[in-house]
Structures are given as structure tokens and as C-alpha cells.
Amino acid sequence: MAFDRLISLSAALRAFSARNRIALTVIAVLLFGGGMVWAVGQLDVTLASLEWRPLLVVVLVFVPLDIALSALNLSLLAKIVDTRISAKDSLVATVIGRVAEVLPIPGAALVRGAALLRSGASFKAMIGVLAVSSLMTLALAGVFAAIPLLPREPWLAYVLLAGSVLVFIGSMGWVARKAGAAIVSAMLALRLGILALTTLRFVACFLVIGSIVPVRDALLFVVGGTVTTYVGILPAGLGVSEGISAALALLIGVLPAAAFLAAAINRLCGLGVGGVIALAMIATGAYQPRPAT
């Protein structure tokens, strides 16, 4: 079955990433750092020229909301495989996973997977549900990205839309067979919320560097992070998702350097907030490393 082969491909790519994590982390850091130097040089951006109010909105509002929705998503994934993860454990796994994703370890997938295994899921069920979750998000991101392309590159938009709809139908069908229509509806609502927040984060991050990008055009940039999350080769797609954003910017008349820098600011905000919350969890004992059983 084609959809099962996609799940297997996702698992294989993550396994390759896990085996070569240190080398891939070095490559990712070089890509990200080099891209930052290039983007700042192209735009002549300084700390004094940054707009701090939209940055605060991202840090204090959008990122915490995104973390909360992602934690709810993990709880839903547990229900699909007939187990249960508490709200606290979902939040801990989400936060620690996001921070771990940029380290030379298997990252967020490992942390989320370990949480599912501890809840009672089998290894096969855990791999399947994480892969389907990524595919569903990727498909919706493709639909989002097609919207700003329709008036500019209609042929590309229709191809992207068709492919995304096919993957979306397949992933929704898989979840429906496993868990029913109620869980499917909840997963759809959560993903729409997460991708909408991602879009608003990009709008705000462009404002930080003095660029105004309409919400409709910002829909295109949700693809960068989502594609690298699914492919999962470089840690957190570091440098790659920013590069994808820079390339996509050419399709809608946005400066590639501005798109790279906005994507980088978005990432750094997420990592910074996640890091602070993770440290608080470790300090208070909310997070205590333990092996999966």
C-alpha cells in the first residue's frame, strides 16, 4: 500500500538521522550560521533596527500557544494507539523534545516516541502514528502553501494542492480506521490551529526585521519547517527549513534574505522559550529522564 510505504520511508529517514546525528548536527549548524551571516549582511540588520514589540508577541503569546497545542496533539496520538498520556507528561515530552531536536541525539521523535511507549503503545504502533501525524501536518501545510501561489503560479499551486489533498485523505483515512471520526476531527482542528499560529509567527518575525508580509503570503512559509520535520534528516531541519523559506520567497516577491532571517528568528524564539520551560521543568523535577519500557 502506497501510504504504508510513505510511513516506512519516514521511519527509515529518521533511523538514518539517528545513526549519523553528530555529523548531521555539525552540518546543520554550519548551514544555519552561514545563512544567518549571509542574511544579516544582505539586509544590513542591526539590533537597534529590530522591532521588539512583535518579537515579544511571538515569545510571550504565539510560542506558548503552539507548545500547548502540540502537547494536546501528543495526547491525541496516544488515544489513536489505545493508550493515554496525561496533560503533564504530554507537555513535558513536547517541550523536552523540541529542545532535544537540535542536539546530537535522535531528538523530538525519540522523546515523543518514548512517551508513547511508556503509555503502553507498541513500537510498531508508535512508529506508525508519529509518521501519520507528520504526513497529515505536511499535507495541510501544502494546502496552506498553495493559497498564495494560486494567483502567481497556478500550475504549481494546483499540483501542490492535488498532492497535498491525496496525502491528507490517506492520513485521515488511516486515523479514522484506528480511532474514529471524533479523533480525526480533533486532529484536524489542532493542526489548523498550529499552522495558523505558525503563519502568524512568520508575519510577526518579518515585522521584527521591518518587513511587511501579508498573512496570505505568509501561508507559504509554513512548508519549510513542516517538510524538514517530516523528512527529519538534519536536526530540527536546522538551516534547511530557513533555506527552503528563502527559496520559496522568490515565488511571492519577498527578499530571500528576509525570509531566511524571519525563519531563523522564528526558530530562535521557539528554541529560547522551549529552553527556558525545559530548564524550569528540570529544576522543579517535572522532568526526570527515565528509560522507555
Q: How do the pLDDT tens digits run along the chain, 293 residues long?
A: 555 555 555 555 556 556 666 777 788 788 889 999 999 999 988 888 899 999 999 999 999 999 999 999 989 888 888 888 888 888 988 888 878 766 544 456 667 777 888 888 887 888 888 888 888 888 999 999 999 999 999 999 999 999 999 999 998 888 888 888 888 899 999 999 999 999 999 999 999 999 999 999 999 999 887 776 655 555 667 778 899 999 999 999 999 999 999 999 999 999 899 989 989 988 888 776 554 44
CB 252 within 8 A of CB 217: yes
Task: Write down the pLDDT at residue 209.
Answer: 95
The residues, ordered by sequence, that sit 6+ positions from 191 with a Cβ below 8 Å of its Cβ are: 73, 136, 137, 140
* Residue in the block written with cell 512559509: 221
How far apart CA 30 and CA 231 sit, in angstroms, is 19
Task: Write down the pLDDT at residue 63.
Answer: 95
Give CA 192 to chain center in angstroms.
Answer: 13
Predicted TM-score (pTM) of this structure: 0.86
Q: Which of 107, 130, 125 is nearest to 10 (CA)?
A: 130
Task: Write down the pLDDT at residue 89.
Answer: 86
Core vs surface per residue 1-34: b (16+ CB within 10 A) or e: eebeebbeebbeebeebeeebeebbebbeebbee
Sign of CA dihedral 278, 279, 280, 284: positive
Q: Which of 207, 253, 221 is nearest to 52 (CA)?
A: 207
Q: Which of 277, 209, 227 is nearest to 66 (CA)?
A: 277
Instruction: Write phi, then psi, for 83 (nearest 5 degrees).
Output: -130, -175
Q: How many residues does the chain have?
A: 293
Can you give the C-alpha Rg of the chain in angstroms?
18
Burial class (CB in 10 A: 0-12, 13-18, 19+), 230: buried
How far apart CA 256 and CA 52 sit, in angstroms, is 22
Q: Which of 262, 250, 257 is nearest to 156 (CA)?
A: 250
CB 260 within 8 A of CB 241: no
